[in-house]
């Protein structure tokens, strides 16, 4: 009996040791990746080449029967290289249509505008978005910046949520092109009511690297969310010194993101970051771009966004 008890204690002790090792391994797992800090190398392209590349993406979206017609990539261009161009990056599980109205306003202001569809987003099967990868998202953002750079003499990026993550990546790693940055509800980290701070790295490691089978939480794929969080973990801890202007917009009703971290991250990127918080009475939540979610305030918000992006303040 004593031998059995001793054997059982040894077995339990071994399991505890394995569990401790597993926990330690998760927390020391390296998230830095040179591939996520560079992305594919792209040379500058001419206006004509940029238009050809954007139209090729639109044709690919059109030919792909799985892509919803209203989710195809958007190109609004004036037929020549303009003084200013802008890249709009939509949120995770959404598609370019959420920027349709703002894109038109920017076009009317004289911009050439490009709104590309992110990989695995905007399809007839919403579950496709679970298949995004950090490497694929970085490659998508890098190519989109290359196109936007060819459309205008000066270029920048506006991104919502996951698109804000990629816009920030572009400001750091494509400084020759990205001179202006506006991030809207950036998903640098989930709201602590959704994911506690101590749970964040295990989520990134276990789901982001496929160690655990994917699951859905608060309406999103854990694997998909973890890809954006992996990209955030590859930002440098320094300012993006070549930015001319940077701005942040967050909503008081946003229960999806960590607002304090968003503010801290943007101030680290540019200590002169401008910030705008819509009035609480407007009842806005996480999506502060799609017109149907703006409770009749879209015109005022879009004018504000353009002013913030241009560094002239609110309009």
pLDDT of residue 6: 55
Each residue's pLDDT tens digit, 263-272 = 999 999 999 9
Give pTM, 2 decimals.
0.93
Report the CATH number of the 40-310 domain: 3.40.50.1820
Query: HEC string of the chain?
Result: CHHHHHHHHHHHHHHHHHHHHHHHHHHHCCCCCHHHHHCCCCCCCCHHHHHHHHHHHHHHHHHCCCECHHHCCEEECCCCCEEEEEEEECCCCCCHHHHHHHHHHHHHCCCEEEECCCCCCCECCHHHHHHCCHHHHHHHHHHHHHHHHHHEEEEEEEEECHHHHHHHHHHHHCCCCEEEEEEECCCCCECCCCCCHHHHHHHHHHHHCCCCCCCEECCEEHHHHHHHHHHHCCCCCCCCCCCCEEEEECCCCCCCECHHHHHHHHHHHCCCCEEECCCHHHCCCCCCCCHHHCCCCHHHHHHHHHHHHHCCCCC
pLDDT of residue 22: 47
Average predicted confidence (pLDDT) for the chain: 92
pLDDT of residue 9: 47
Could you say which residues of the chain have pLDDT below 50? 9, 15, 17-19, 21-22, 315
pLDDT of residue 12: 55
pLDDT of residue 314: 57
pLDDT of residue 8: 54
Domains of the chain, by residue range, sit at: 1-30, 40-310
pLDDT of residue 312: 85
pLDDT of residue 133: 98
């Amino acid at each position: 009996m004593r031998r059995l008890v001793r054997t059982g204690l040894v077995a339990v002790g071994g399991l505890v040791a394995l569990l401790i090792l597993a926990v330690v391994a998760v927390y020391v797992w390296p998230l830095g990746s040179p591939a996520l800090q560079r992305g594919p190398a792209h040379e500058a392209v001419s206006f004509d080449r940029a238009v050809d590349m954007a139209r090729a993406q639109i044709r690919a979206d059109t030919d792909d029967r799985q892509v919803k017609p209203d989710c195809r990539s958007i190109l609004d261009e004036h037929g020549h290289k303009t003084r200013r161009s802008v890249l709009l990056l939509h949120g995770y599980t959404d598609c370019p249509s959420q920027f349709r109205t703002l894109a038109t306003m920017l076009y009317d202001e004289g911009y050439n505008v490009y709104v590309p569809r992110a990989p695995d987003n905007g399809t007839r099967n919403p579950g496709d978005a679970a298949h995004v990868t950090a490497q694929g998202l970085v490659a998508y953002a890098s190519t989109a910046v290359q196109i936007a750079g060819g459309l205008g003499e000066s270029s920048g990026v506006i991104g919502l949520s996951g698109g804000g993550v990629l816009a920030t990546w572009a400001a750091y790693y494509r400084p020759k092109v990205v001179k202006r940055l506006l991030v809207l509800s950036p998903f640098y980290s989930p709201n602590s009511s959704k994911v506690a701070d101590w749970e964040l790295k295990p989520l990134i490691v276990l789901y982001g690297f496929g160690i655990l089978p994917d699951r859905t939480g608060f309406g999103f794929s854990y694997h998909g969310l973890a890809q954006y969080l992996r990209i955030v973990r590859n930002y440098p801890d320094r300012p993006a010194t070549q930015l001319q202007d940077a701005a942040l917009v967050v909503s008081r009703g946003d229960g999806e993101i960590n607002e304090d971290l968003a503010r801290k991250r943007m101030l680290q990127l540019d200590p002169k970051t401008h910030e705008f918080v819509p009035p609480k009475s407007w009842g806005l939540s996480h999506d502060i771009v799609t017109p149907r979610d703006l409770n009749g305030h879209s015109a005022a918000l879009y004018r504000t966004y353009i002013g913030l992006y241009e560094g002239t303040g609110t309009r």
